């Protein structure tokens, strides 16, 4: 992907971090055993360290591995022709080697919401080890009016029908390319439709065999939803989670417009907010969720944030 594509979602005020910073004392060596009974590995959504990746890809990956993480999730692959070096300025072969050098895997990747060049994306990421593609946000929930990026709410079932139809088509294209496919929530998907919420309606319209779920715990908590209830309701369909929390009392913003930078600043690493992640991790084990990515959307010090998150999860 183009570098401008990689950074276009960056929140205002995110600070450039250095991959060579000192890590807290509980950072561990690469190859540490997984932190749960099921054998699933902990990972990092690389959007968290997007600025550092622009400055030093290999150093950033080394810092993630040094904490003890075993996986990373890519982001930003999109609906335009891919560059010769689409992975943070590296070719697929170079990026795969960078991962291997530090003992990391990249099983999943976020793609742009309207991307239909699935076969091209798959050709790039399959050699890296990616087997699941995920849409992180439907374009219907985004507004760029006046050059300002805003997240907008659910307008009704017809809007959700259009999203589900496109997700099904993307899922078909992914399957044809030998890839799995899923959708990642924010807060607006939990808007009240009267007899059910938008999340349940959307996934009732999306083909369960083609469109899996990556549940973002922090955005669900922000929306006032019990993530344990969602995990249990969609057991078997949830293939991954984003592990983060919402640090402040929520305001009813699951519908209507919202300023992403101000909300994202309230989303913090596990152990920093009020949510007890012990029962969540237990539910992930019980329902067999294989991929668990710590993500901090906006942080002045992302490496220390994911280190703290790792330490908290390790102690559970």
- Of all residues in the chain, the percent with pLDDT exceeding 70 is 82
pLDDT digits (tens, 9 = 90+) for 119-132: 999 999 999 999 99
Q: What pLDDT score was predicted for residue 17?
A: 27
Non-local (6+) Cβ contacts of 95 within 8 A are 57, 87, 88, 106, 128
**Three-class SS string for 266-284?**
CEECCCCCCCCCHHHHHHH
Q: Is the pLDDT of residue 282 over 50?
A: yes
* Cβ-based neighbour number of residue 84 at 10 Å: 5
Lowest-pLDDT choice from 13-22, 91-100, 239-248, 265-274: 13-22
pLDDT digits (tens, 9 = 90+) for 215-240: 999 999 999 999 999 999 999 999 99
Please state the φ and ψ torsions of residue 88, each to the nearest 5 degrees. 55, 40
| CA 290/CA 38 separation, integer angstroms | 8
Rounded to the nearest 10 degrees, how much is the dihedral formed by the CA atoms of 91, 42, 53, 298?
Answer: 140
More confident residue, 38 or 131: 131
| CA 33/CA 31 separation, integer angstroms | 6
Q: What is the DSSP letter of 36?
A: S
pLDDT digits (tens, 9 = 90+) for 88-126: 999 999 999 999 999 999 999 999 999 999 999 999 999
Asked if 139 and 8 touch (Cβ cutoff 8 Å), the reply is: no
| CA 137/CA 112 separation, integer angstroms | 8
Q: Is the pLDDT of residue 33 over 80?
A: no
More confident residue, 10 or 237: 237
More confident residue, 6 or 247: 247
Q: Which residues pair with 78 in a beta bridge?
A: none
Q: What pLDDT score was predicted for residue 258?
A: 61
Q: Is the pLDDT of residue 209 over 60?
A: yes
How far the first Cα of the chain sits from its last, in Å, is 38
| CA 45/CA 71 separation, integer angstroms | 9
Q: Is the pLDDT of residue 38 over 60?
A: no
| CA 277/CA 188 separation, integer angstroms | 22
Task: State whether the Cα torsion 174-11-300-15 is positive or negative.
Answer: positive
Nearest Cα residue to 100 out of 41, 31, 169: 31
Nearest Cα residue to 199 out of 184, 210, 181: 184
Asked if 64 and 95 touch (Cβ cutoff 8 Å), the reply is: no
Q: Which residue has the tokens 């080890």?
A: 129
Q: What pLDDT score was predicted for residue 259?
A: 64
pLDDT digits (tens, 9 = 90+) for 134-176: 999 999 999 888 888 888 999 999 999 999 999 999 999 999 9
């Amino acid at each position: 992907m183009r570098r401008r594509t990689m950074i276009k979602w960056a929140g205002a005020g995110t600070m450039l971090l250095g991959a060579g910073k000192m890590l807290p004392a509980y950072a561990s060596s690469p190859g540490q055993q997984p932190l749960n009974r099921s054998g699933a590995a902990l990972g990092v959504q690389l959007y968290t360290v997007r600025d550092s990746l622009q400055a030093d890809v290999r150093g950033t990956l080394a810092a993630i591995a040094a904490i003890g993480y075993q996986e990373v999730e890519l982001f930003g692959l999109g609906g335009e022709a891919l560059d010769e070096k689409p992975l943070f300025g590296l070719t697929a072969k170079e990026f795969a080697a960078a991962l291997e050098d530090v003992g990391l895997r990249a099983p999943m990747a976020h793609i742009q919401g309207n991307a239909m060049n699935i076969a091209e994306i798959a050709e790039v990421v399959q050699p890296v080890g990616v087997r699941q593609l995920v849409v992180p946000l439907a374009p219907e929930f985004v507004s760029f009016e006046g050059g300002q990026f805003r997240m907008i709410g659910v307008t009704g079932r017809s809007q959700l029908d259009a999203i589900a139809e496109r997700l099904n088509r993307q899922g078909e294209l992914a399957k044809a390319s030998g890839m799995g496919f899923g959708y990642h929530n924010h807060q607006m998907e939990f808007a009240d439709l009267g007899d059910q919420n938008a999340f349940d309606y959307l996934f009732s319209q999306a083909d369960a065999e083609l469109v899996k779920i990556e549940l973002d715990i922090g955005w669900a908590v922000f929306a006032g939803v019990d993530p344990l209830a969602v995990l249990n309701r969609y057991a078997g369909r949830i293939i991954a989670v984003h592990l983060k929390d919402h640090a402040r009392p929520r305001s009813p913003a699951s519908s209507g417009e919202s300023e992403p930078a101000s909300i994202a600043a309230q989303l913090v690493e596990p152990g920093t907010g009020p949510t007890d992640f012990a029962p969540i991790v237990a539910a992930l084990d019980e329902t067999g969720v294989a991929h668990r990515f710590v993500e901090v959307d906006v942080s002045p010090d992302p490496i220390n944030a994911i280190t703290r998150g790792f330490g908290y999860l390790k102690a559970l």
